[in-house]
Structure 1
Amino acid sequence: MRAAGAECSGLHRGMAARILHRLRHALSGDGGREERPCGGAEAEDCPESSELEDDTEGLSTRLSGTLSFTSHEEEEDEEEEEGAGEEPGQAPQPAAAEDGEWGPEAERGGGSSLLSRQLQELWRRSRGSLVPQRLLFEVTSASVVSERSSKYVLYTIYLIRSGRFDKAPAAIARRYSDFERLNRRLRCRFGCDMAGIAFPRKRLRQNFTAETIAKRSRAFEQFLSHLHSIAEIRRSPEFLEFFFLQDLQAAQRLTCTGMYREALATWANAYRLQDRLGACGSSRFLLTLAGLAVCHQELDELSEAHGCCEQALQLLEAQGSHPLLGPFLQAHVHLAWKVGKDKRRSEALLQDLREAGPPLQQQPTLKECLIKEPLE
């Protein structure tokens, strides 16, 4: 009897120990799963802990330094946002250690959820951060052009922003003499900076062989990339206008002759070129917006024309007085009335101009400003 009582008491103690063991695991986030030994013959039954630690260390090594697109300040902002989302009174989640050390969470079997959080955080940061961009110059094609008195190679160059997909490319077509003129002008103004920049020499023969064209194509890519890497040169009018001045001149001629569809495509390419080159605050860019607005309006694309005027007015608001301010305001009021948009602010600014300057009737329209603007 006494032996049976002892056996029953031992059984109850064993059951209590197992219940307590399960309760501890439930409170620690293990879902009530019994802990099983991981050594000896039963090691294959619970490989999660060892495999997870190995995988996470390898993953940490592979991802280290490859997805870090934010600055230190941005990383601090991200951490503050993460902490701000915790409910009052909730215990903060343990942070992952560096160099693949994931802390005690992995040992308790909760490493899979920690790994998921780590991947989600890396993905969120990589999507929300600004990828450093640089401008690439790529010669995509070269064709031999024969005219009555001359023969030359025309190189087509694409301007590509790394780290970003451009739906519509920005492209130029230039010949050797255009590059040579740019090189000469820059050496006159930036002699010291240009001293270490190579330029392909002229050849007396074999200018039209495939080998020469291929070598020059690569040389022109390197030439433009080197120029763009020097801050003073890439901001200079000589460098910038090498890319978009020809398009502006051609678009102006097409607009003057009433070929608005062809002019619109040329204005649009000039817009993309200036956008890639970071020249969106210049008077040339305002003229480009004027060309786009006029052509869209002539083609009865009023919403697009209204958008161009709004963009121009945002730039002009930061510049103060400008010869194109009045024409853009008049065009914006007219187009806003046509498309049913708010025009009160533009009307108020027009009233201020009317009180401060000459009558608006004497001011040229946006199209007249576009035609009369000298582009040299």
Structure 2
Amino acid sequence: MASRILHRLRHALAGEGAREEPACSTAEAEDFPESSELEDDTEGLSTRLSGTLSFTSHEEEEEEEEEEEDGAGEELGELPEPPGEAVGAEDGGRCREPAGGGGGSLLTRQLQELWRKSRSSLTPQRLLFEVTSASVVSERSSKYVLYTIYLIRSGRFDKAPATIARRYSDFERLNRRLRCRFGCDMAGIAFPRKRLRRNFTAETIAKRSRAFEQFLSHLHSIAEIRRSPEFLEFFFLQDLRAAQRLTCTGMYREALATWANAYRLQDRLGVCGSGRFLLTLAGLAVCHQELDQLGEAHGCCEQALQLLEAQDSHPLLGPFLQAHIHLAWKVGKDKRQSEARLQDLQEAGLPLQQQPTLKECLIKEALD
């Protein structure tokens, strides 16, 4: 009996071991290889996504593929797969162009160049007015604060900024003139009031500086006002008068700096086609010529003649043509077009012998 029970127990143990061994091998066959494949694929995917992001064109893609076959591609970082495209093991995870597509993406250099060109058009340009300094000036029986203001175009760096220096009475005169002409538009524009005392304290000067910045910005935001002679002459008429006096007295170097600032002011304000601007170019040409800077003088005449291209009756046209022909001969530039135009004016009845020089035009011009 005992031997029979022992025999059955051995058969039972042997049967359970035989049934468990296939189950264990099946689990290893189903679970372990799948786990190993997942780990390998994960490792390969992380390798394919590593590297430096770069942009390649369609023409360069074929060359890079040949380099990869030679083993050179291992040194280059590869692109991650774009959305919607599977990463295939046969191409090493490279970003392929879809079938039937046109050219590839732009080079990084091309994208940067495109961004630089489009940046100015994407960024709205705005003229800013900034009081950079204020100083107390004492003159005989008067005392006042002189405010220095920079005209700055937003989004751009000006190596030589346009500047003005004005006192409270200048701002008050501008405010009074504009309110007489643009009463409705000026109704909502605040202006700092006069004070009977404490006009020269740091607190008052600082508050007025900010108030003048806001005052000019508000005026410039109204199209009718910023195009008005009252507003424009507030900025550059003083410089034009000072430059004219310096030119007439032969102080050409000082006059040149003043003409140049008047040029920048008119450029910032967007009035580069007005008669004042042509007079400014004439002043620059005369001072450059007197200082023996003939190339710069020739460039000023060329710019003026471009502005006068469609005008045959402007009083400065003849003087500019004569000056341009003379300077072109001096610096070795082409003067045939100016000579032909001057000949046409002469045939139309313009008395060339009676034409004043640019310097004479500057002296005779009345800057009211």
Aligned partners of 2:229, 2:47: CA distance in 1, in Å?
Answer: 63
Unaligned runs of 5+ in 2: 1-34, 63-80, 99-103
Per-residue Cα deviation, 1:227-264 (whole angstroms, up to 9, x for no partner): 11111111111111110000000000000000000000
2:116 corresponds, among 112, 117, 127, to: 127
Name the stretch that deviates more: 365-374 or 349-358.
Answer: 349-358
Corresponding position of 1:327: 319
1:232 paired residue among 221, 224, 230: 224
SS at the partner of 2:112? helix
State, as a whole percentage, how many aligned pairs show the same letter: 80
Q: Counterpart of 1:365 in structure 2: which amino acid?
A: T
Say yes or no: does 1:303 pair with 2:295: yes
Task: Give 3-state SS (helix, strand or coil) of 2:276's partner.
Answer: helix
What CA distance in whole angstroms lies between the structure 1 residues aligned with 2:95 and 2:215?
Answer: 52
Partner of 2:351: 359
Query: Alignment partner for residue 153 of structure 1, among 124, 145, 156?
Result: 145
CA–CA distance in 1 between the matches of 2:291 and 2:36? 78
Q: Is the CA contact 2:178–2:230 (under 8 Å) kept in the aligned structure 1?
A: yes
Cα distance, 1:110 vs structure 2: 3.7
Aligned to 1:103: 83
- 1:182 to 1:347, Cα distance in 2 relative to 1, 3 A: same
- Cα distance between partner residues in 2 of 1:265 and 1:139: 21
Aligned amino acid, residue 124 of structure 1: E
Q: In the alignment, what sits opposite 2:101?
A: none
Matched residue SS, 1:252: helix
Say whether residues 1:46 and 2:38 are aligned partners: no
Q: Following TM superposition, by how much is the alpha carbon of 1:111 offset from its aligned partner in structure 2, in angstroms?
A: 5.5
4+ residue runs over 6 A deviation? 49-52, 112-116
Mapping 1:1-376, distance limit 5 Å = 39-40=38-39, 43=42, 46-47=45-46, 102-105=82-85, 107=87, 109-110=93-94, 122-129=111-118, 130=120, 131-376=123-368
Residues of 1 paired with 2:163 and 2:96: CA distance? 49
Cα distance in 2 between the residues matched to 1:181 and 1:117: 56
Q: CA RMSD in A?
A: 2.9
1:341 to 1:122, Cα distance in 2 relative to 1, 3 A? closer
Single out whichever of 112-121 and 326-335 deviates more from structure 2: 112-121
Shift of residue 360, structure 1, vs aligned partner: 0.8
1:326 counterpart letter in structure 2: G
Classify 1:157/1:48 alpha carbon distance in 2 versus 1 (closer, same or farther; 3 Å): farther
1:349 positional shift: 1.0
Please list the CA deviations of residues 170-224 of structure 1 after superposition, one character each: whole Å capped at 9, or x if unmatched.
1000001111111111111111111111111111111000011011111111111
Distance 2:181 2:37 in 1: 75
Deviates more, 1:42-51 or 1:249-258: 42-51
Give the distance between the partners of 2:339 and 2:106, measured in 1 at CA: 53
What amino acid is the match of 1:123?
Q
**In 1: Cα distance, 2:87 partner to 2:169 partner:** 69
| CA radius of gyration, larger in | 2
Q: Residue deviations 1:135-156, cap 9 Å, x none?
A: 1111000000000011000000
- Summarize the Cα distance change of 1:145–1:47 in structure 2 as closer, same or farther, 3 Å threshold: same
**Residues 58 and 105, structure 2, Cα contact 8 Å, conserved in 1:** no
- Name the count of aligned residue pairs: 299
CA distance in 2, matches of 1:295, 1:49: 67
The CA deviation at 1:167 is: 1.2
Contact in 2 for aligned 1:106/1:112 (Cα 8 Å): no
Partners of 1:335 and 1:298 in 2: CA distance: 12
Cα distance in 2 between the residues matched to 1:188 and 1:37: 88
Query: Structure 1, unaligned stretches of length 5 or more?
Result: 1-35, 57-84, 91-100
Say whether the 8 Å CA contact 1:38–1:45 is kept in structure 2.
no
Deviation for aligned residue 1:163:
1.2
Q: Specify whether residues 352 and 117 from structure 1 end up closer, same or farther in structure 2 by C-alpha distance, changes over 3 A only.
A: closer
Conservation of the 8 A alpha-carbon contact between 1:137 and 1:221: yes
Whether the 8 Å contact between 1:256 and 1:371 is mirrored in structure 2 is yes
Read off the aligned partner of 1:328 and give its amino acid letter: F
| 2:212 partner letter | F
Q: Secondary structure at the match of 2:131?
A: strand
Q: Distance in 1 between matches of 2:278 and 2:341?
A: 18
Q: 1:215 is paired with a residue of what secondary structure?
A: helix
Change (3 A) 1:333 1:127: same
